[in-house]
Amino acid sequence: MIKVSAVTAFVILVACLVIPLGPRMAEYQALNDKGQVLDAERAALQREIERRESELQMLERDPLFVEVKARDTLDMCQPDEVVFRFEDSRAE
C-alpha cells in the first residue's frame, strides 16, 4: 500500500511539473521556428551586403565596370554598336 501511495504521489508530482510546461514548450517551438527564419533572412541580407560591397569596390577601381554599369543602368550604347535583348519567356 505504501508503494502504491508513493508511486501515486510521484505521478501527481510529475504531472504538476509537466502540465504547466506544455504551453511553454509550444511557445518555445514557435520562437525557435521564428529564430530559424530570422537566421535565414540575416544570411540572405549578409550575402546582399557582400555583393554590394564587391560592386562598390569594382566601381571604385575598374573604369570598364563603371562604363558597363552605366550603360546597363541608363540603357545606352555607342553609335556603332548593335544591342541584342532577350526576353525571358518564363516571366509571363
Residue-level pLDDT at 91 = 60
| Claim: this prediction has a pTM higher than 0.95 | no
Residue with the larger pLDDT of the pair 12 and 60: 60
- 12 in any annotated domain: no
**Cell 500500500, residue located:** 1
Say how far apart CA 72 and CA 62 lie, in whole Å: 16
Dmax over CA atoms of the chain, in Å, equals 103
Q: How confident is the model at residue 25 (pLDDT cuts 50, 70, 90)?
A: confident
In a domain, 61, yes or no: yes
29-33, long-range: CB within 8 Å, 24+ apart, which pairs? none
Mean pLDDT of 2-10: 82
Instruction: Please give the pLDDT value at position 92.
Output: 56
- Look at the chain and report how many structural domains it folds into: 1
For residue 71, how far is the Cα from the chain centroid?
32
Question: Is 5 within a domain?
Answer: no
* Domain of residue 68, residue span: 49-74
Whether residue 65 is contained in a domain is answered as yes
pLDDT tens per residue across span 41-78: 999 999 999 999 999 999 999 999 998 888 888 888 88
User: Average pLDDT in the 2-29 region?
Assistant: 81
